[in-house]
Structure 1
Amino acid sequence: MAEAKRTPSDSALRRITHEVLEFFRDLTQRSPARFAILIFVSLILVFTGIFSLPFAAADGRVTPFADAFFTAVSTICVTGLATVDMATHWSPFGHVVVFLGTQIGAVGVLTMASILGMIISRRLGLRAKLMAASDSNPLRTHGGPVNEGQTIQLGQVGSLLATVALSTLVIEGVIAVLLYPSMVLAGVPWYTALWEAPFYAAMAFTNTGFTPNPQGLEPFAHDYWFLTVLMAAVFLGSIGFPVIYTLRKHLWHVRRWSLHAKLTIITTVALFFAGGVVFLILEYDNLLTLGRQDAWDTTFQALFLSAMTRSGGFAILDIGELNQSSLLVGCMLMFVGGGSASTAGGIKVTTLAVIALAVWSEARGRTSNQVFGRRIPSDVLRVALSVLAWGATIVAIATIVITQITKADLGDVLFDVISAFGTVGLSTGLTADLPDPAVYVMGITVIMGRVGTVTLAAAVAATSRTQLYSLPVERPIVG
């Protein structure tokens, strides 16, 4: 049989397909960060369309675009903020979409883009490896010399990607098994708990904070086993995949831990206990929060609040009833966030650690930033300061705009904006009542906080230029 002749339309379709693939292949090679952001925004648009479908809502009606958009942003960015009641507004199909969206978002914008770039290119090339490795070290997208040993070497990127997928499945599976008995004992039907336990596990490990039941954590407010498991899952999600990768290889050999892993774990644990102590001091006499509870309940819930303000998003207490001083402390913890390449947001604990070490070294009169027998290069400090400055700028602009739109209390606006930037999910109640223009501003803040300030900076800079000359030195007065 003679081969069928190709029509002009077939040839045009093949040419267009080839050009599209070449465009994305070239984009992954020229600017991995831009490609990552493109994929991330595309996912948000796709999920916005899905959430807008009538059968995604429990009442069978089309969800308003602003609410669908913000839910897609909050889901893909594993944030936890919502403009609708997440437990009652969505149908079972909508809840499945939320679950899948958080799983995709948990993988991380850079790692997900690396996988898609690998599919398009049919191989994990050097540029794609650099992009994946940047999830463990943002300096790889920032550019410039990297003098110290990296958290993840280029040859280990394949193992890192496998660790991301495997650790997500294993950890969430174990968490779901540990949560299931408590849910059944709390009166949740066994067949309902089969769905809600994995949902809670996913929301905890991804640091999202959505709850599948209308009562939220109220049925488990005094179930310390349930709450402790949630805190453990949030901790594992917030330390980051590179740290999990390091712990998997050298769990009992602390000396072999990378400097990144040491700084992440030490700073995370220190902020957890410091936050708990401060909340305990500030709220012990507040009858609307911790004032009516005994010593054990007060201490535990203060620590739980400290863990959730780091990026967890679950809440037992009414955040709107906290003292203003406690809200400010919560803002500080949320702004820092969790570890790099984690499901948490914020400027990251390693950024805080590097800046704090630099201040300490300056106070001691040291010419270099040193810790654990290692010297931290000056370019790392420059990136840390840039991240801090960009983060503060984003929060300030969003706070000003939303305050101007809503005329709401500055403290409430600041708390919710930092919660959005840090992809935490805690709210004073402001976000649910925002008008549409403010919803879009809050959504953009979430995106910028999740994508990361270093990635945004790398995406804006098309190329890195090397200056082969040095200008004369002149010292301005500082301080």
Structure 2
Amino acid sequence: MVATGFGATILLGSVLLSLPMATTTGEPADWVTALFTSTSAVCVTGLVVVDTATHWSVFGEVVIAGLIQVGGLGIMTLATLFTVLLAGRLGLRAKIALQTETKSLSMSDVRRVVRNVVLFALAGEAITAVLLTGRFMIGYDESFGDALYLGGFHAISAFNNAGFALWPDNLMGFVSDPWICLPIAIAVVTGGLGFPVVFELARSWRHPRRWSVLTRVTVGVSVILIASATLIYLATEWNNTRTMGALDDPGKLMASFFAAVMPRSGGFNTVDIAAMNPSSMLVTDVLMFIGGGSASTAGGIKVTTFGLLAFIIWAELRGENKVNVGHRRLAEATQRQAVTITLVGVALVTVSTYVLLVLTPYSLDRVLFEVISAFATNGLSTGITADTSMAVHVLLAVLMFVGRIGPLTLGSALALKERTRRFELPEERVIVG
């Protein structure tokens, strides 16, 4: 149901973007371009094969913003919301479908969960839009209408971790402007935490001891990743004149923090990604693959999965047969799910990278970067996607689709198919390592 919902929305978006009125020239976009852009928008990725600002008309940009909004909230969440509004009640099948998309921790009061998810998303986007609109009016002399359009579009794109921007160089023109960079970065982080985590923080942010394992791992790992990445980018790009070297010290700090936040699945950039040092690109690869929080608008294998793997490794190194997170024991089924999702992700990235290396003349670091960005629905790019062939565009579109719904549906399927074996086989120790 999730895959069908996303697929149908992508096809609808492709049809709308292929209309003559969707482009600035008045000529219909070719089908692959429309399909790629629609997939990137619905899967809240941000990779593009044509410049969003110059190729698409206002109608096309509005369609893209609408697809981002639908993809961010989740097709199943919207469908169930309409069911509530029209029928006034939810059946068991609809409840299960909704829980699959939002990963609600409980099936009780599903209608309240849906309402809170929608209201929270709209409120976050509205606050970000107000801040950006004011800045565009005051700092860049935009008219109220233009400023509101720019603020609203980028607020939707930021909160949903989409990375679409209405400038050819993304946000590089605002690299030192905290009134643009900080609202967008905060929106990306908030949207990437995940709805269950945000709701729990809103209820008990003063009492960390009461937080669930999901909230503890998501918040803890997110803080560690953003802080460490900021320091790494500062160190590796400090003297790189093609990225941050020409900025003053506060500008470098701002650019480093922004660059550390965006691999969570934000997709915006204020420095030239292709000009980064190889070490910085490698760090970005890792951050993109990890992604954001579970049940969020972010992609990747999720910080929860990464954090649980760290606890599993730590328990194994200490020789403990149980994995404990805080004052809770981690279920063995959850451990297997985390390992499975990670290894499947590694396999998809590896195979796709090999295929793209065969189809393109680009180096491994650039191809790997584009592949991880597509799989993690991130949107950061070294600029090679637009110059590749139609076959590569189709492959990346498929990878974006799989990356968006893959971890979601795979995790749900593993949880729903858990069963207890009624017999045990004789144990045998195998040499490992």
What TM-score, normalized by structure 2, do the two folds share? 0.94
> Which residue in 1 is equivalent to 2:36?
70
In the TM superposition, residue 126 of structure 1 has moved relative to its aligned partner by 2.4
Q: 2:108 aligned with 1:155, yes or no? A: yes
| CA distance in 1 between partners of 2:261 and 2:121 (Å) | 20
Aligned to 1:452, what secondary structure does the other structure show? Answer: helix
How many residues of Structure 1 are paired with residues of Structure 2 in the alignment? 432
Deviation at 1:465, TM superposition (A): 6.0
CA distance in 2, matches of 1:466, 1:110: 30
Measured against aligned partners, the alpha-carbon deviations of 1:201-244 in whole angstroms (never above 9, x if no partner) come to 11110111111244532442221122111110000010011112
- For the 8 Å contact 2:161–2:267, the answer to whether it is kept is yes
CA RMSD of aligned residues (A): 2.1
Question: 1:109, 1:451 within 8 Å by CA — same for their partners in 2?
Answer: no
User: Which among 379, 386, 390 is matched to residue 436 of structure 1?
Assistant: 390
Paired position in structure 1 for 2:63? 97
Which amino acid letter does the alignment assign opposite residue 34 of structure 2?
A: A
The one of 32, 35, 54 equivalent to 1:88 is 54
1:165 is aligned, of 99, 118, 137, to 118
Equivalences for 1:108-127 in 2 at 5 Å? 108-112=74-78, 114-115=80-81, 123-127=89-93
Provide structure 1 residue ranges, at least 5 long, that are not aligned to the other structure: 1-34, 138-150
Question: How far 1:109 sits from its partner (Å)?
Answer: 4.5
Check whether the contact 1:135–1:340 (CA below 8 A) recurs between aligned residues.
no
From 303, 323, 326, the equivalent of 1:369 is: 323
1:464 Cα deviation from its structure 2 partner: 6.2
Identical amino acids, percent of aligned pairs:
38
| 1:135-170 C-alpha deviation (Å, 9 max, x unpaired) | 454xxxxxxxxxxxxx62110422221121101111
- Which structure has the larger Rg? 1
Match of 1:340 in 2: 294
Q: Within 1, Cα distance between the matches of 2:303 and 2:124?
A: 22
Question: Which structure 2 residues correspond to residues 412-431 of structure 1 after superposition, within 5 A?
Answer: 412-431=366-385
Q: 1:235 & 1:440 partners in 2: Cα distance? A: 30
Q: Does the Cα contact within 8 Å between 1:421 and 1:445 map onto a contact in 2?
A: yes
Q: Contact between 1:186 and 1:219, CA under 8 Å: does it hold in 2?
A: no
Cα deviation, residue 380, structure 1: 0.6
**Does the aligned pair in 1 maintain the 2:44–2:162 contact within 8 Å?**
yes
**SS of 1:468 mapped into structure 2:** coil
Following the alignment from structure 1 to structure 2, what is the Cα–Cα distance between the partners of residues 465 and 360? 27
**Which letter maps to 2:359?**
I
Alpha carbons of 1:303 and 1:461: their partners in 2 closer, same or farther (altered >3 Å)? closer
- Matching of residue 54 in structure 1 with residue 20 in structure 2: yes
- Matched ranges for 1:79-228 at <5 A: 79-112=45-78, 114-115=80-81, 123-137=89-103, 152-184=105-137, 185-214=139-168, 216-228=170-182
Q: Structure 2 CA distance, aligned partners of 1:47 and 1:375?
A: 44
Question: Match for residue 36 of structure 1?
Answer: 2
Contact 2:45 2:379 in 1 (8 A): yes
The letter of the residue matching 1:180 is: T
How far did residue 468 of structure 1 move? 2.0
1:355–1:381: 8 Å Cα contact kept in structure 2? yes
2:209 to 255, 263, 275: 255
Extract unaligned runs of 5+ from structure 2. Answer: none
**CA distance in 1: counterparts of 2:416 and 2:322, whole angstroms:** 31
Mapped contact 1:387–1:454 kept (Cα < 8 A):
no
Task: Provide the C-alpha distance between the structure 2 equivalents of 1:343 and 1:156, rounded to a whole number of angstroms.
Answer: 22
Matched residue, 2:249: 295
SS of the residue 1:155 aligns to: coil
Question: Aligned pair in 2 of structure 1 residues 113, 398: CA closer, same or farther (>3 Å)?
Answer: farther
Deviation at 1:364, TM superposition (A): 2.3
AA aligned opposite 2:18: S
